[in-house]
Amino acid sequence: MAKIVASLCLVFFPFFNDLKADELVSKEMPSDALVFFETKGISEFLIKVRDSTFFQSLLESGDFDELKSSDFIKEVSSTFDFLELFLRKDIWVLNERLLSGRMGVAAYEAEDPEDPNVVILIKPKEASAWLKNRIRFAPLIRLGIKRIGRTDFEKSVYAYRTRGDKNEATYFALNDEWIIVTSSRRLLKDTVSLQGTKVDGAKKVDPISKDIKYSSMIGKMGTEHQATVFLNTRKISKIDGRFGIPEKIEDPMLSLFLGGVVNQLEDSSYAGLVIDFDGEKLNFSVDMEKEREAEPSVSTKGIEILLPPKIPGYLGGISVYQPFSKWHRERNDLFQSKIIPGSELLKGKLSNLLFGASKDLEAGYIGDGLVFLSALADDAGKDENGISLPGFCFLVDLNKLEGAESSMHVFFEEMLSELNVSKSDVEIEWTKQVETHEEIRLLVARSKKSPEKNYPTPNCFQIGSRYCFSSSLDLSFSLIKKIQETESLRVSNKGLNFNLDFNQLTRFFSLNKKEYLSELSRARGDEQSGQRDFNNINSFLSTLQSLSGTYESNQGRLGFDLEAIFNKTSIDE
């Protein structure tokens, strides 16, 4: 029960209505929760998901066939079927009646740390007696449940438990204004008493809203969010170490977003997550407060690093503060996700430089700020499947200018030996020459024997107090123009910044449609499945306009913010 509830909450909590301070269900649920989730208006979002073209295309995908056969989905589906039979209402009618108001879900310590006690509090938008009457006057339903606590609760409160072993029972209580479901009789009484009704034998309990750690989180992150999750990480870690929280995220995409966060959970006092969504813009924030430093983290207070310049065809970019980047690398590989096209080419000297592990850093030339970006380019080469690669480059801050060019040229020579886009065993032979563009000297390399369209045009150059290494000459020309024509480039005081332009990513995908279709069809085994997967990927890319995020670490606090901007039609359709 606990796993189903938690999973559903994490899936659906991004899109609910604003919670106001005086409406918080944390005032009506018992304190000492390990995990607490609250939101408002899940009903409207579920209907939008059901009717969206994106969700319909997802249902038709081959990947979803595997998901539908999972034990989790089967259990959820059987639960829905039971509710429809039990209450004689269509699941979407139940959704509108029960989930249009406020809802809270909390997990509490139990004898089995992997199966905590759970409390669900549902407060429908409009008071109604239909559910209570349905249970009272349906004999078949009464065969599966037993009324309890007639002398414990007020007459307006109806309490039940499922028949059978009391230790395995589910308890619930309801009146016209609220519904409580829990796996613990004690928690049932405590939660009912917090609704303002008299409960015989119930001890006075404080609500979650009075918990010091929860109050601290609310003080920093605010109350008026559409959804909030509170993790009492200190209490969780005392029970069984990490309470199922992984020490390292294996999924590469999640690693990019949350890689630096999970490592710190065990040593934190609490973690808070909030989400807001206005129909077009989604904001997701994580805030953690540490009680102790098991190992020193890197402070990003007072830093200033360049953000990726938005040149024509910009696909995405990452800017990092080198000490923070090295700290992050020890936990998760930032580019393992290949989330930005072209980043899979970063290895060896390039990867070491990006993550603060390069010996070249010790020479004193390279500073703390580094920017990586990827953009559409006609001279960036092709991979072994014939897919046209985007260009990529990265800019490094220079600590000193004298002698920098010769030192960077040596680094560039070593970088060329590792740049093998075709993944063949034959080492690419390069010709190198110095060229000038807009008064900037570039060292340019071109393949000796192979057609230039199949290989990139690596180059490097110094511009002001920064040095650039690039896989595309066209990209370098665009970057030089952008820097020279922009009076003040955008900067950030965060330790890590990333963003993606999904309009350009969709274009990149479409430009390589033939090659992607061929690869997907080969992977699936037939052209029809390949075409279906291509359409689903294209539908997903078209859903978003952009995705961006930041990390920061200051004085025992780790913060992460993510912003996604959607194409409105993808939600409304």
- What is the DSSP pairing of strand 459-463 with strand 430-437? unpaired
Q: Output 301 or 219, whichever has higher pLDDT.
A: 219
Q: Output 306 or 18, whichever has higher pLDDT.
A: 306
* 139-151 residue pLDDT tens: 545 567 788 888 8
CB of 559 closer than 8 Å to CB of 552: yes
Closest CA to 319 of 511, 493, 127: 493
Residues of the chain above pLDDT 70, percent:
62
Q: Which range in 87-101, 345-359, 487-501 is most confidently predicted, on average pLDDT?
A: 487-501
pLDDT over threshold 70, residue 504? yes
pLDDT at 133: 57
Q: Output 4 or 249, whichever has higher pLDDT.
A: 249
Q: Output 572 or 531, whichever has higher pLDDT.
A: 531
pLDDT at 251: 47
Lowest mean pLDDT among 112-121, 142-151, 309-318, 530-539: 142-151
CA–CA separation, 129 and 245 (whole Å) = 40
pLDDT at 334: 46
pLDDT at 307: 93
- Work out the angle at residue 536's Cα, subtended by the Cα atoms of residues 530 and 540, and round it to the nearest 5 degrees: 145
Lowest mean pLDDT among 323-337, 448-462, 524-538: 323-337
pLDDT at 14: 35
SS3 354: helix
- How many CB atoms lie under 10 A from the CB of residue 242? 14
Q: Output 137 or 441, whichever has higher pLDDT.
A: 441
List the structure tokens of 533.
């997967």
CB of 564 closer than 8 Å to CB of 549: no
Q: Output 262 or 440, whichever has higher pLDDT.
A: 440
Instruction: Give, to the nearest 10 degrees, the angle between helix 71-87 and helix 91-98.
Output: 80
SS3 297: coil
pLDDT at 377: 92
pLDDT over threshold 70, residue 200? yes
Task: Specify the amino acid at residue 207.
Answer: P
Domain ranges of the chain: 1-293+558-573, 305-555
For residue 8, what pLDDT band results from cuts at 50, 70 and 90? very low
pLDDT over threshold 80, residue 342? no
CB of 137 closer than 8 Å to CB of 196: no
List the structure tokens of 448.
């000796």
Give backbone dihedrals phi and psi of 366, rounded to 5 degrees, phi first.
-90, 130
In the chain, what are the helix, strand and coil shares in percent, each to the nearest 5?
A: 40, 25, 35
Residue for token digits 């009391």?
166
CB of 394 closer than 8 Å to CB of 471: no
SS3 125: coil
Is the pTM higher than 0.75? The answer reads no
CA–CA separation, 170 and 186 (whole Å) = 12
pLDDT at 440: 95
List the structure tokens of 145.
């449940």
Q: Output 251 or 530, whichever has higher pLDDT.
A: 530
List the structure tokens of 461.
């150059």
SS3 375: strand
For residue 17, what pLDDT band results from cuts at 50, 70 and 90? very low
pLDDT over threshold 80, residue 356? no
Q: Output 3 or 79, whichever has higher pLDDT.
A: 79
CA–CA separation, 76 and 12 (whole Å) = 14
Residues of the chain above pLDDT 90, percent:
15
pLDDT at 283: 86
476-496 mean pLDDT: 91
CB of 530 closer than 8 Å to CB of 349: no
Lowest mean pLDDT among 68-82, 137-151, 242-256, 353-367: 242-256
The 3-class SS string of 165-220 reads CHHHCCEEEECCCCEEEECCHHHHHHHHHCCCCCECCCCCCCEHHHCHHHHHHHHH
List the structure tokens of 561.
């913010």
49-53 mean pLDDT: 63
CA–CA separation, 92 and 50 (whole Å) = 10
DSSP state of 359: G
Average pLDDT, the chain: 75
pLDDT over threshold 50, residue 252? no
Phi-psi region of 555 (alpha: psi -120 to 50; beta: other; left: phi over 0): left
pLDDT at 337: 45
